Amino acid sequence: MVANSCKKIVIVGGGIIGLSTAYAAICEGLQVTVVDRLSNFGDNCSRGNAGMIVPSHFIPLAAPGAFSNAIKWMMDPESPFHVKPRLSWDLMKWGMRFFLACTETQVGQAAPLLRDLSFASRDLYLQWSDSGIDCSLAKKGLLMLCKSETAMVEESEIAHRARDLGIPAQTLNASETSALDPNITMDIEGSIYYPKDCHLDPSQLLSSLKEKIISLGGKIQHDCLVTGWKTNGQKIIALETKQGEIEADEFVLCGGIWSEGLVKKLKLKLPLLPGKGYSLTLPNPIELPTVCSILCESKVAVTPIGSGLRFGGTMQLGELNQSIDPRRVYGILKSIPFYMPQFRVQHFEGIQPWCGLRPVSPDGLPYIGRTNAWKNLTIATGHAMMGISLGPITGELVNNVLHRRPTKINIERLSPDRYGI
């Protein structure tokens, strides 16, 4: 038996989930190596996203109404949600599981869990800031901006539910919203303000975490594509990579959307679909809000990042490539002036859209935990729209799993084996 203090852990993937896991493990004296196929972690999903920490997002993607909205939006090339229709057994199975998960019962069970995970993660971000992980964390809350009365009614109902769960939420009219963030001109019906939400600079976060891990003795291997696993019985002995084999006592898979392909080589099922999204960052915006927001009807996230302003959105399910669809990008851009009338689509001329692939599970919940099929494999992925939000708590939970300690939040529902092994 290897003593924990010298146990060797290899983590596949250097996105927010892999780096959070590495940091948590290294703080407990484990010997950590992170491998990633990208140079300097280049452009994974964790870099160009909207950087929001969102206790307000306690309703998972799979919720009543989500399936019918998906069908409705499929025909609109500029809509915020799209599934590329294709003949694929995996896609059909994923769709069926998503459909089955879109129930009030599942939301009722998932919501308190997501609340607990989000608040625990938020607390950890505050601790990280105190220990020198710099990510420009802003504890300013989040505004759900509603253009229409209908959206206001829907969002007010969600706010009511949030308060029932102990998540503070305030319903504001248009002038109360303006008073909260006078830096930005808004043309809206009103908003819901979630004071506990935060925002940060995701790129700075990744760089700062990486530096911290290295300074604490962790090893990071870039340009290291994992191609397979060397096994013996029910144990993994080594990772097979383009740079050779890497042995370890424990393996943690944090490979984002590519995790499903990697576990297939271990004969495991991990249903995931890529959820492609885009962001565009104005370096010198005409106005700079201080509070991050979501344009409710168009599902666009708006985040101040330093002196720049990032707009992100769209969920194109099922495309495992990073090609940019200009119609979807235009869908994001054209919605902005409706809410923020000082902005014009022309302001974005010459701005290169960034594209990221969210790892999306059918029930909208991440996979966190060990699989029964392999003695020394832990999986942490499938965070969809909440990878930044839930990164630190995921790292802490995985670390408890690695030490075979009880977790402070029950993660049975998040088992990577929940769709069978």
Rule CB under 6 A: choose which of 12, 32, 137, 282 binds ligand FAD: 12
- Looking at the DSSP assignment, which residues form a beta bridge with residue 251? 10, 377
Q: Is 301 in the site for ligand FAD (CB under 6 A)?
A: yes
SS3 315: strand
Q: Which of 274, 266, 254, 371 is nearest to 317 (CA)?
A: 274
Q: Does 141 contact ligand FAD by CB under 6 A?
A: no
| Binding pattern for the stretch 42-71 against ligand FAD, x by CB under 6 A and - elsewhere | --xxx--xxxx-------------------
- Helix boundaries (H) for 350-418: 387-402
Is position 172 an interface residue for ligand FAD (rule: CB under 6 A)? Answer: no
260 interacts with ligand FAD by CB under 6 A: no
Total length of the chain: 421
- List, in order, residues 6 or more apart from 229 with CB less than 8 Å away: 236, 238, 239, 240, 251, 265, 266
* 189-228 positions binding ligand FAD, by CB under 6 A: 225-226
**If you ran DSSP here, which 8-state letter would residue 412 be given?**
G
What is the rounded CA–CA span in Å between residue 289 and residue 16?
A: 26
| Structure-token pair, residue 203 | 């790129």
Q: Where are the alpha helices (DSSP H) in 165-243?
A: 174-180, 202-215
- Cα–Cα distance measured from residue 57 to residue 114, given in angstroms and rounded to the nearest whole number: 8
For residue 185, what are its two tokens?
């001109």
**Toward ligand FAD, which CB reaches closer, 166 or 228?**
228
**Single residue of 60, 141, 256, 318 touching ligand FAD by CB under 6 A:** 256
Q: How many residues bind to ligand FAD according to rule CB under 6 A?
A: 42
Quick one: 55 or 189, whose CB is closer to ligand FAD?
Answer: 55
Binding range to ligand FAD, per CB under 6 A, among 9-17, 75-83, 183-191, 341-349:
9-17
In whole angstroms, give the CA distance from residue 8 to residue 232. 17
Task: Write phi, then psi, for 264 (nearest 5 degrees).
Answer: -60, -30
Would you count residue 263 as binding ligand FAD (CB under 6 A)?
A: no
CA distance 405 to 399: 9
Smallest distance, Å, CB 94 to ligand FAD? 17
| Residue 37 interacts with ligand FAD (CB under 6 A): yes or no | yes
Q: Does 359 bind ligand FAD (CB under 6 A)?
A: yes
Beta strands in 349-407 (DSSP E): 354-360, 367-370, 377-381
CA distance 390 to 120: 8
**Residue 262 binding ligand FAD, by CB under 6 A:** yes
Q: Pick from 17, 135, 213, 263: which binds ligand FAD (CB under 6 A)?
A: 17
**Least distance in Å: CB of 41 to ligand FAD?**
6
Least distance in angstroms from the C-beta of 261 to ligand FAD: 8
CA dist 28 and 23 (Å) reads: 9
Angle, helices 16-27/202-215, rounded to nearest 10 degrees: 30
Q: Minimum distance between the CB of residue 175 and ligand FAD, rounded to whole angstroms?
A: 27
Q: Which of 10, 18, 200, 266 binds ligand FAD (CB under 6 A)?
A: 18
Q: Does 386 bind ligand FAD (CB under 6 A)?
A: yes
Question: Can residue 304 be called a binding residue for ligand FAD (CB under 6 A)?
Answer: no
Shorter beta-carbon distance to ligand FAD: residue 189 or 199: 199
Instruction: Note whether 246 binds ligand FAD by CB under 6 A.
Output: no
- Work out whether 236 is an interface residue with ligand FAD (CB under 6 A): no
Q: Would you state the structure tokens that stand for residue 415, as one six-digit string? A: 């088992």
> Does 395 interact with ligand FAD (rule: CB under 6 A)?
no
Question: Contact between 118 and ligand FAD (CB under 6 A)?
Answer: no
CB 134 within 8 A of CB 206: no
Q: Is 364 in the site for ligand FAD (CB under 6 A)?
A: no
The answer to whether residue 356 forms part of the interface with ligand FAD (CB under 6 A) is: yes
Cβ proximity to ligand FAD, 78 vs 189, nearer residue? 78
Crossing angle of helices 66-73/89-101, nearest 10°? Answer: 130
Q: Does 16 bind ligand FAD (CB under 6 A)?
A: yes
**Interatomic CA distance for residues 313 and 243, integer angstroms:** 36
Which residues lie near ligand FAD (CB under 6 A)?
Answer: 12-18, 35-38, 41, 44-46, 49-52, 225-226, 254-256, 258, 262, 277-279, 301, 312, 356, 358-359, 381, 383-389
